[in-house]
Structures are given as C-alpha cells and as structure tokens.
C-alpha cells in the first residue's frame, strides 16, 4: 500500500519500501476515469455552447440582412437623365424611354421637361402609369399642347403626339426626364 498521495486527486505515491497492491492501481484508475469523464463532458458542453453562440450570431446577421434587403426592395427607385430631340413625331415614331437599367423595375411616374424654350417658358409632360394620355403644360400651368398618347410596356414608356413639339421631341432640343419606380 502507498504511503503518500498526490495533492489534488489523492492518487497513490509509493516510497521504495511500500508494498505495491493491485487495488491501489484500480482505485487510481477509477479516480482518473471519473476526472477525465467530468472534464470531457464539460468540454463538450462548452464546445456545444460556442457552436450555438456562433450559430445564433449568424442567424441574427442573416435576419438583419434579409430585413435590409426587404426595405431596399420596397424603397422607390429614381432615375434622372436627358435626351436630345430628333424631330420625329407621330404614332409610328414615338419617344421611348427604356428604364430597365436606370430603375430595374417598372416606372410609375415619368416627368419630361424641355430645357430650352424660345418663349422663356418651361414645358413639362407628366406620364403616370396606367394613364393612356397626358398633356403638356408650361411653368404657369397653362395647357400648351394637346394630349400625347402613352404606351407602358414593362420597364419602358413610349408616347407620341401630333407634332414634334407636342411629342417633346423637337430636333436638337435637350429634354430632361425624371422617373420614379
């Protein structure tokens, strides 16, 4: 039997004149087995908690990203651009704005404004999705021209009028458009 024992687990420590017994080894092995089992269970629990914490953080990040994407998708898109009139007009030569790249969705409202007007007036054409016709107005809200007929096709809008002026497509004239989708 051992005369000395270790400080923490009380494992057998033999001196040179101690008699070694099989039961001493069996007791030590049982203590070691119990201590290692408790340690491995604690480590598994810690590893499990760390994995759960990492998973929870990832889920929270995904939820936040999904929420941001939903908000971003719901926000209106705005496109602003210009075109120079060609002088053509009529139903066989409509003005067409393809807003596929600028908006990435169907436009709901398009405003077209003539940049330069010899009379000092600003002409504006308002195109509203679902409407089949629109009129031009000047800065004083006076009807300038008769109606333009409108066609909405996906992310494109086309319109034509009875003259290049009515159609907002006078040759060499700069027009600005504002689109909301």
Note whether 179 and 102 are within 8 A (CB). yes
CA separation for the pair 125, 111 (Å, rounded)? 6
> What's the angle, vertex CA 181, arms to CA 129 and CA 132, rounded to 5?
10
78-180: CATH topology is Immunoglobulin-like (2.60.40)
Nearest to 169 by CA among 78, 91, 107: 91
pLDDT at 131 over 90: no
How many other CB atoms sit within 10 Å of the CB of residue 180? 15
Structure-model confidence comparison of residues 27 and 179, the more confident one: 179
Cα(58)–Cα(55) distance, integer angstroms: 5
The pLDDT of residue 71 is 84
Q: Quick one: pLDDT at residue 39?
A: 76
Q: Is 163 helix (H, G, I), strand (E, B) or coil?
A: coil
Each residue of 132-176: pLDDT tens digit? 888 777 666 666 666 889 999 999 999 999 889 889 999 999 999
Report the pLDDT value the prediction gives residue 144, as an integer from 0 to 100. Answer: 64
- pLDDT tens per residue, range 73-121: 888 899 999 999 999 999 899 999 999 888 888 999 999 998 766 666 6
* Structure confidence at residue 18 (pLDDT): 84
Give the separation between CA 136 and CA 111, rounded to whole angstroms.
10
User: How many helices (H) and strands (E) are present in the chain, helices listed first?
Assistant: 2, 11
Domain residue ranges of the chain, discontinuous segments joined by +: 4-73, 78-180
Higher pLDDT, 102 or 33: 102
């Amino acid at each position: 039997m051992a005369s000395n024992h270790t400080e923490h687990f009380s494992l057998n420590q033999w001196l040179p004149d101690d008699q070694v017994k099989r039961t001493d080894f069996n007791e030590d092995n049982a203590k070691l087995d119990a201590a290692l089992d408790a340690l491995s269970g604690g480590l598994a629990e810690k590893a499990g908690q760390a994995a759960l914490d990492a998973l929870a953080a990832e889920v929270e990040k995904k939820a936040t990203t999904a929420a941001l994407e939903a908000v971003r998708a719901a926000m209106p898109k705005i496109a602003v651009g210009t075109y120079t009139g060609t002088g053509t007009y009529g139903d066989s030569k409509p003005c067409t704005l393809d807003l596929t790249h600028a908006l990435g969705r169907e436009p709901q409202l398009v405003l077209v404004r003539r940049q330069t007007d010899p009379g000092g007036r600003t002409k504006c054409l308002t195109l509203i999705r679902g409407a089949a016709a629109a009129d031009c107005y000047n800065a004083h809200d006076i009807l300038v021209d008769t109606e333009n007929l409108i066609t909405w096709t996906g992310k494109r809008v086309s319109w034509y009028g009875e003259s290049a002026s009515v159609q907002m497509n006078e040759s060499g004239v700069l027009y600005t458009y504002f689109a909301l989708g």
